[in-house]
Amino acid sequence: MGDFLAPHNACGQNLLRIVSRGNAILAELMRLKDYVPPVFRFDSKQFDQKYGSVIIDFAYFKACATYEQKIENDSALQALDEKLRENFSNILTRFYLAFESIHKYITDLNAYIDELEDGLYIQQSLESIMFNEEGKQLMCEAVYLYGIMLLLVDCHFEGYVRERLLVSYYRYNAQRSSSTRVDDVCMLLRSTGYSKSSLKRPANYPEEYFKRVPVNTSLVELVIGRLRSDELYNQSRAFPYPEHRSIALANQASMLVIILSFNPSLLHSQTAIMREIVVKFFPDCWVSSIYMGVVINLFDWWQPYKAARTALNSTLENSNIKKTAQNYGQKMDTQILEVEKIQFSVNLDENAVGPIVKLVRNCNVTLHWILLHTASPNMLVEESKRSKSIRQLVIHESKYSVENCLRLLLNTAQVEQNVKQFYKQLLQDKESKWMKKKERCVERISDLAELFSGNKFLDGTEKNLCLQKWFKEISEHVKTLQQDEGRKIVQLLQALEEVQEFHQPENNLNISQYLADTRVILRSMLLTGSISEDIMITLNIVTDCCYAWIIMESFVSVMQGCIKENPSMVIKLKALFLKMASALETPLLRINQARSADLSSVSQHYSRELEGFARRVLQIIPETVFGLLAEIVHLETNILKEMPTKISKDKLKDYEQFDDRLQMAKLTYAVSVFTKGELSLRSVSLGVLRVDSHRLFEDGIRQELVKKVTHALHNCLVFDLKSKTDLVKKLQNLATVMDGYRRSFQYIQDYININSLKIWHEEITYIINNAVEEECKGLTWIPGKNWRSLQDEKFIHIPVTDSNSYTFLGRFARELIRITDPRSTVYIEHTLAWYDIKTHNEVLNHNVFSTILQGMGTPGLCGLDELISFFTVVEIQNINNYLEKGVREKVWTDMIKDSNIIMQNNSENSKGNPGKLYMTALTGTTKIWMPMLDWVLKIGQFQILRNKIAYDLNTACKFEAKHMESALRTLNQAVLAEIYKRNNGYQTEGETELLRQLSIRLDWAGISDPQNKIYVKSKNVPDVEIIMFLFTVTQVHKLYYSKSIAGLLSKKVQDPVDAIAFAIGMQTVLRQFHTSALNRYVALLCEYIMLFVNVESSKTASDWEAEGITTLHFLELFAKYSNVPKSIILSHIPLVILDQYDVKLLK
């Protein structure tokens, strides 16, 4: 057949590509298992109730029209469905393609078998492939991988979840998908009834599952036959001892376990065959790792099958279990001592390699058996009582302890790495060493020939021309030696021994020494020449630990405990990480052979998994460092007195605090010891990734800092909704805690070799930005945020304690909004404070923003500003939607029509009638204005808060970075001048990016004007200025001018309106429309004021005068905050009338 995997062999290459794709599919499934959006799992009743009508299982296919009609008839369900489509369309496609690839895999495999049987590949058939070494390996792997795919899909993506994912994909991406392929995928992956939450195994599982798209029967029979009779991977060369046979065949055994489920009749009724399988593969083991650490217990796996269960009974006899467990327990105790003894030896030499390889083999065999048989299976739902009792019996009889097992594991890994490095060096130096030894040997033999020639004098040496000639000939032979001529070297050794025996030169001690040295050199040459890659291959086989890929997670806490006791133990962990990295060779072997493009993504996935494991183990060091840091924080904050810049000699004793400073020194030393422990790792290769210990440590420090600071923010910013006075106290407490963390973190930076100030600012910014993002997503779409947070390693999950907020920042922002609510407080601009409407007591003042700056820094204040900006957008969108909907209603159109007529009549007549206009705006429209008032007041309140935040940010920036503030302000002015100069609105991509970056920096420096920003792109609402004018008329009527505060106040406490918030809110809303709307609104207000100049009404003139004064003051407020030039007002209201109002106001 030739080389089956040769590039020109289409038959072998096609099969190799199929197997390669199978390994890539498994990696994709393992990658996606952590990214199932929680909304599709229905983990809570809330999700079930809210999304049950739009996220549907396969029941959808029975009544598609009914479900779709239900969604179409409900606008809320339509909006929810659209949000699902928008947020999860891409990830649903990713899941579907992974599921579809399973169906395509088995379809292609069956098609390949059909092509073989049809004779498409000349001189090759299914039977001939099974006689080829690589061919039978690939055939067995192809069937085995299909079974593993189906099992892992069912294990990690439960049936109801798969169905919801597939149905959602079908609904959202039907136009891009082939309905036939979707139907086939749905048929293959419909729910099997298997569930991790269920304690019962489904009937006929997994054989019925495997029959959905069956594998060719002849192929299954041939594969099982080869697995039973042949040794596929020839691993007995690495495990030559009889007691190691089950370990040597472990990979083949796991394949056989899976493939037998494709032919359940063998498991049910073929007792003789099953007994043969058990005797060969499972004489002393009953737990198998089927793929990358996925463990099954054969007692439970084969429980439904009579023949398999009966055959396994002999292995599971208590006497056999006890004997085997005791044997491996004793071996573990002995091997721990032997491995530690080797570790203490200073140097390795070539002669020691063989015994060490043997010891490494024995240790790995012991670890393989012990780890598997003491681990809990992770494939089936629940262990049976018998399985648990067997596991407990193994633990008891072997005297197993996690600590001893870890001890052997770490020591073995260390020895493995040492011997591998040593042997690699031997292979590299083999040629040069052998040549040097050869030259020395030739030199020695030539010296002997010279001695016997008589030309060179040596005591007791007689001239012997025969020996001279003989040694010259031997020297020539040595010169022509090659490394692979070991037999000639043995013959030369025999010849040297014979010449010493028959010619008796041993009587001369010098000659004897020469001969002895020469023989030593020849033996060394023989040993060096015998160095080959076979030993490295053997080492790689016996040290493979892919069976423990998942089991190692159970050792994390023990490893961390060991590191906590002895930080230098990290060096041994490096060897363990390298040992685990060798497990990547198994899934990558066929992908690499096929030169597949999937090599990079698959290797990246497993390397990332291993890196994540290493980070979890080593995270104990940053955790411990921060535990020590907490004590340092306590000392810095509460115990140690802050040293003044200058201090008199007499008062020096007041600051000595010797005991406390000694405790600080001890804590600092402990921190440096732990840091040194992790940094000793240096650089370690984890698969295709190389991880630097300093970066690993810094990342751990960052993660722990995020955790601690997030918890501090979360715990400090919890408020009592009944009180309005504890906000400032909470912020002051937060500022104290944060200052303690910052000072202590800065204090230890030199002892842990990091830039603490840089890390502090970056991570505080990360925490705040993450909180802002969470709040914004939470307001718009809850499920999306939960899924995306899985991608961030530093993400700290804090349980939600407030029904309205998702993070501390949202909770704080809402508390600030609650305290300054325009419905219960009034903002007085002269004092920059909010006062309670009823009690007239001050509730909050502008100093609160300085306190926020102390507690959360510039990032905190900027994050608060961004969140309030988002709240503003939400409220503006609410009012815009309300206006767009309202203008189409008859009540609104009639109101606008009547008010236009009244205003027109008033402009034509000299006598004004503001009362009629007011009644038009009020009659039948009270309910219309109520929601609008809430939205406008909220928008105004948010803008006031944003103005105060910008002021504090700018003040801080001027003090701390005045040159940067000046540079930003100048650049901003220059950019604005350039934009005004162009007057065409066109911007290049680079200019757009410049504006975006500049805007971010301006916001952080407080160089911004929130009131004049465009927040949303509003649609053109007809007569919006008239609507807002009429709305203003109804609200201004609730206000009066107060001389005591020189401003507007509410007439009634029960119906309050904060004039400043209302004015700012109105101008913000109008600014979202075309500028003509704002100008027309101002004109209408001016016309309304003019109506009060000459009034004809039943109302008294003094009342209308007060109304006119109130409206005029509101107009002045509006003009002030919207930057409307006074000239525009004067164009509608003569100056003499304005002066008249001012005179009346002074009376």
Under 8 Å between Cβ of 573 and 555: no
Q: Could you give the count of Cα atoms lying within 13 Å of 202 in the half-sphere of its Cβ?
A: 15
Question: Which of 268, 292, 422, 427 is CA-nearest to residue 345?
Answer: 422
pLDDT, position 1144: 64
pLDDT, position 427: 84
Could you check whether the bond before residue 783 is cis, i.e. omega within 30 degrees of 0?
no
End-to-end CA distance of the chain: 116
DSSP 1016: S
β-strands 825-828, 689-692: how paired? unpaired
Which residue in this structure is represented by tokens 């990480």?
577
Helix axes 10-32, 133-156, angle to 10 degrees: 20
pLDDT, position 414: 92
Question: Which of 771, 786, 775 is CA-nearest to residue 706?
Answer: 771
What's the pTM value of the predicted model, to 2 decimals? 0.83
Under 8 Å between Cβ of 481 and 489: yes
Handedness of CA 1103, 1105, 1109, 1111 (dihedral sign): positive
16 CB burial (10 A radius; 0-12, 13-18, 19+): buried
Question: Which of 314, 295, 205, 217 is CA-nearest to residue 250?
Answer: 295
CA atoms of 1052 and 261, how far apart (whole Å): 81
What is the DSSP code string of 228-286? HHS-SS-GGGTS-SGGGHHHHTHHHHHHHHHHHTTSHHHHHH-HHHHHHHHHHH-SS--
pLDDT, position 437: 85
Neighbouring residues of 90: CB distance < 8 A, sequence distance ≥ 6:
none
CA atoms of 1087 and 1111, how far apart (whole Å): 11
Please provide residue 1053's backbone torsions phi and psi, each rounded to the nearest 5 degrees: -65, -30
What is the DSSP code string of 393-442? HHHHHTT--HHHHHHHHHHHHHHHHHHHHHHHHHHHHHHHHHHHHHHHHH
Residue 1041: strand, helix, or coil: strand
Please provide residue 1074's backbone torsions phi and psi, each rounded to the nearest 5 degrees: -60, 150
pLDDT, position 262: 96
* Residues of the chain below pLDDT 50: 1, 780-791, 910, 1096-1101
Bridge partners for 1041 per DSSP: 1048
CA atoms of 619 and 703, how far apart (whole Å): 9
What is the DSSP code string of 925-959? THHHHHHHHHHHHHHHHHHHHHHHHHHHHHHHHHH
Q: Position 506: which residue type? A: E
pLDDT, position 1097: 42
Phi-psi domain of 460 (left: phi exceeds 0; alpha: psi -120 through 50; beta: other): left
Neighbouring residues of 144: CB distance < 8 A, sequence distance ≥ 6:
255, 258, 259
Under 8 Å between Cβ of 941 and 817: yes
Q: Tell me the residue length of the chain.
A: 1147
- Per domain, the residue ranges of the chain are 10-202, 316-421+546-591, 426-537, 858-865+877-950+1017-1146
Bridge partners for 1048 per DSSP: 1041
Span 646-692, pLDDT tens digits: 888 787 777 888 888 898 889 888 888 888 887 877 788 888 888 88
What is the DSSP code string of 150-218? HHHHHHHS-HHHHHHHHHHHHHHHGGGS-HHHHHHHHHHHS--S--TT-SSPPTTTTHHHHTSSPPPHH
15 CB burial (10 A radius; 0-12, 13-18, 19+): buried
HEC readout, 26-40: HHHHHHHCCCCCHHH
Bridge partners for 825 per DSSP: 836
pLDDT, position 225: 94
Which residue in this structure is represented by tokens 């498994």?
26
Under 8 Å between Cβ of 606 and 725: no
For residue 388, CA distances in Å to 200, 375, 377 come to 16, 10, 10
pLDDT, position 346: 53
465 CB burial (10 A radius; 0-12, 13-18, 19+): exposed
